[in-house]
Amino acid sequence: MHVLLNPHCDHGRGGKKWARIASDWQGRFGDCRITETHSTEGLVEILRGLVREGEQTIVAAGGDGTVHWILNALLSLTRSGPERAVSFGAVGLGSSNDFHKPFRPENAIRGIPVRLDAGQSRLQDLIEVRWEDETGGKHARFCVNNAGLGITAEGNRRFSAKGPVIGTLQHFSVEAAIAASAVWTIFSYRNRSFRIQVDDRPPFQAMLTNLGILKNPYFGGGLHYDLPIAPDDGRLCICLSESMSRFQAVRTLVRLYQGRFKGLPGTASWTASRVSVVAGSRCFALEMDGEVVQARKADFKVVPKAVRCCA
């Protein structure tokens, strides 16, 4: 087992969280190798070296962003090669840790969620996202949890920007900071027209409030959908909210904290293998496992059983 540790996650608290479990970790797993990662630079070469050395389990110790970047670095290697047999684990040192949800008490060390059981690992689907930026540049990335646009993406952008109010709240309560980011975004967001196509169905225009593309129903703090989706079912769950007033958007936010979405007014959902969205001339915020970029169109598709994840 080799751990790639991001001590700067959770607004600099990741290192302290790791120190809290260090003694228990050594008692359970012995002197496994640990490499600190301070940026995405060099990740591919680090992982290529570990694979060549025969490393069987690679662990991302950090938040969902750390999981996202390390997993994408691993997948940038040839997926048909020996790294396909590598088990991918994680230690949740972040603020939300969606990759670990639903949390299980038996999968925790001193309250820190972990996925480290390589013996019970299984192949899991991913979301492949291809998007075009404002200059026409083409990009691609994989998500293990979810992707989306609309209020969710704008709220994530605001949360990550750490303005004075949100930044202060983050020090006291991550859940309060997430809720404040969402409410603030709802009251500043304006519905936008998007052309959407789901699988081979006819495309349609929607005044989009939010669009979630899911492999995991959890997407931020206590927010979660009540729709059937499994990590290895070969499908995406598409959740659309459209033409919502601010009141309706707030009501939907409250329902999502209760795990209720299906059947709400102004919503629709599908299971599908792919979906495409195109905006007008202005770019939109595109969120992938909590990471936000600017795009003017994006394509999402499921990649079945693309990575072996620890239980």
Q: Is the pLDDT of residue 206 over 70?
A: yes
- In whole angstroms, give the CA distance from residue 160 to residue 144: 19
For residue 30, what pLDDT is reported?
Answer: 78
Q: Selecting from 2.60.200.40, 3.40.50.150, 3.90.1150.10, 3.90.25.10, what CATH number does the domain 126-309 have?
A: 2.60.200.40
- In whole angstroms, give the CA distance from residue 287 to residue 229: 19
3-state DSSP assignment of residue 164 = helix
Question: Which superfamily does CATH assign the domain made up of 2-120 to?
Answer: Probable inorganic polyphosphate/atp-NAD kinase; domain 1 (3.40.50.10330)
Angle subtended by helix axes 174-188 and 164-172, to nearest 10: 150
For residue 171, what pLDDT is reported?
Answer: 64
Residue 243 DSSP one-character state: S
The predicted model gives 186-202 an average pLDDT of 94
* 263-291 per-position pLDDT tens digit: 999 999 999 999 999 998 789 999 999 89
For residue 87, what pLDDT is reported?
Answer: 93
Confidence band, pLDDT 50/70/90 cuts, at residue 82: very low
For residue 83, what pLDDT is reported?
Answer: 44
* 112-170 per-position pLDDT tens digit: 999 999 999 999 999 999 999 999 999 999 999 999 999 989 887 777 766 666 667 66
Whether the upstream peptide bond of residue 113 has omega within 30° of 0, thus cis, is no
Residue with the bigger pLDDT between 222 and 245: it is 245
3-state DSSP assignment of residue 125 = strand
Look up the pTM and report it: 0.90
Q: Which ranges in the chain are annotated with CATH 3.40.50.10330?
A: 2-120
The predicted model gives 29-53 an average pLDDT of 87
